[in-house]
A and B are shown apart, each in its own frame.
Chain A
Amino acid sequence: MSGYKDDSDEEMNVNQIEKDNEVLLDRKSHVQMTKTNGRLQVQIVTPGELIVKNASNALCGHGTFRDDQDQLLSSVCGIVERVNKLISVRPLRARYPGEVGDVVVGRITEITGKRWKVDIQARQDAVMLLSSVNLPGGVQRRKTNEDQLNMRSVFAENDLIVAEVHSRPNRDGSLQLQTRSSRYGKLENGVFVRVYAALVKRCTQHFHTFDFGVQVILGNNGYIWITKKTPVDENKQKSMPFYTSADADKNEAEVIEGKDRENICRVRNAILALQSQFLPIYPATILDVIEMSKGMESKEMTLPDITPLITKNATARIQKKMEEEDMEVVEGGY
């Protein structure tokens, strides 16, 4: 793994891959791992590094290429992933690539014609058409010219919104968003955190409410929104506190205080602590950190000396998970 022990190390890796070349191609595990000093590690490759030596029956996915000796090499810096025969490298530091159906948190940057431009930490700003939002009050009807003039009352510049990736209409790779659901819309009264997009783990549910009354939206794009849990209103159909700008103006912003504020801070700092240790961010790991940080003030949690300590459980969880996956590999692979 070490770049400095180039010759010997690469040799070792190659041999290992060569040895279980067959196994590698029908392993169950998704992310490729290597064992160093008895600990499992995710395999990080740099451009030009060898992934599979004899790649005649492997498919090369994103971030890989085949050279003239039929070897599969990496073309970006990242983590090797494999689905059946398809081998790809997911870049570590790259921007949010975008996938249809993802929940994303974004900020409106511009209003042009009948569309909003939204910053979602992707290469280009995403586009959201007027026709793909719900109007104030949740009215369902065809959008008129008048609506087009009143777009700022739905979402204004610098508003934070939560939306879903609808499609990828353009060849240039820009994404289209939609908020046609009561779950999506404007965000307010909370804390915004930005992390590496690669760290947000894909879950079945990206809206999560913790027992202590804090709600997080873990945007797949690495933008995260933390707010106080709102009690479900029986009279309204809406269970979420999301509005368009016009709706938000009507409601007076509720002041969050005391314990809730403290809890929100704790969640925020737990997420930052996870990021500083480059650990996956999902409800279980966030809870691990919060558990470990009990008895300390939340402002202490982001200190460089403290973060390794409070993320110990989360690290152990990931390690265990990787070992379990490896067990599966052994059971299912041979």
Chain B
Amino acid sequence: MSTLVKRQKGRLSNQLRSIEAQLGLLNKADGSAKYKQGDSSVLAAVYGPSEVLPKDEKGDRASVQVVFKRRDGKPGRREKQNENIIRNALEPIIMTHLYPRTAIMIIVQVLVDDGSILSVALNACVLALMDAGVPISTVISSISCSIVVDENGSQTLLTDPDLSEERTSIGETYFVFDGHVVAKTGEGGLVSSVTSGLLTDSAYTSCLTASRSGSKSVYTFIRETLKRKPTTVMAPIENIIFERDEASSATNGSDFKMEDEKEESKTFSNVFMKPI
């Protein structure tokens, strides 16, 4: 399987779309985040830990509820499925035992669906949880992959597919990784895995590897978004090499230096940071 194939919009097959995040845009929610990967954009809001309905109440921990809302139209089976997938990935990392008999409500509103929506939604949820100050044990991040077949019958793996690529794909994967494990060891750390369509063993393995390195970039992005002081105005930056801002670096812990990651920045070259 060749890995470097030019695809639409000049992207390489293992290249992520540009990432943007914005925290705390909703007033009433305890935490909120808008997260974009390319044109796919999701708004996640976290309410809680707060009052819980008796039927959802759990005696020893908080109950985590996820609501997945489409951009338009009535929610169907697919939305229910997405809710379950997201909840299953988030519930183990949220320290629910600290808040017995409460509810943590996570609302996911799709703003634009341009592929990889499940991954984008999960990343948005993680950011929103941290914005709300809900204790979580680790940072997880997610990336989707698609397998497409060209006219010669050879399969190509596309990381972070957009909607048109997803439509032509024969199989899709969605992986969630524990960012700390991946950043430290470069392997393992798989939290959740969902596949659909026809996938061979080798295709699954290469999707896993590609997703892992992609999720590492998302993880570093999430961490840097959080470490930055909330008010820093950031212009879009090419090649994820961050200059140190002399005037504002005195009291915050965020200095953006990325020499070590230059190698990776070649592959995922257009990660943008937007002001919070």
Contact = CB atoms under 8 A, between A and B. Distances in A.
A46 B220 CA distance: 11
23 contacts: A1-B255, A2-B256, A3-B224, A3-B227, A4-B240, A8-B260, A10-B184, A41-B250, A44-B252, A44-B254, A46-B223, A46-B226, A47-B138, A48-B139, A48-B179, A65-B95, A94-B132, A276-B231, A308-B247, A308-B248, A315-B251, A318-B250, A319-B250
A277 B240 contact: no
Contacts, number: 137
Interface string A266-295: 000000000111110000000000000000
Interface string B224-268: 101101111100000010100001111111111111110000000
A148 interface: no
A48 B136 CA distance: 8
Interface of B: 23-24, 30-31, 50-51, 95, 102, 130-139, 179-180, 183-184, 220, 223-224, 226-227, 229-233, 240, 242, 247-261
For B23, B130, B260, which residue has the most chain A Cβ atoms within 10 angstroms? B130
B261 A277 contact: no
Interface in A1-43: 1-8, 10, 34, 36, 39, 41-43
A94 B242 CA distance: 26
A65 B257 contact: no
A86 B24 CA distance: 30
Nearest to A171: B101
A2 B255 contact: yes
Contacts of A3: 220, 223-224, 227
A4 B256 contact: yes
Contacts of B231: 275-278
Contact of A44 (B136, B138, B227, B233): B227
Contacts of A43: 253
A261 to B, nearest CB: 27
Given A4-B258, A5-B260, A95-B30, A277 B230 contact: no
A278 B230 contact: yes
A76 interface: yes
Given A6-B184, A95-B30, A308-B247, A42 B253 contact: yes
B255 A91 contact: no
Given A46-B130, A318-B250, A4 B220 contact: yes
Contacts of B132: 94
Given A48-B138, A63-B135, A41 B253 contact: yes
A304 interface: yes
A46 B251 contact: no
A75 B135 contact: yes
A277 B232 CA distance: 7
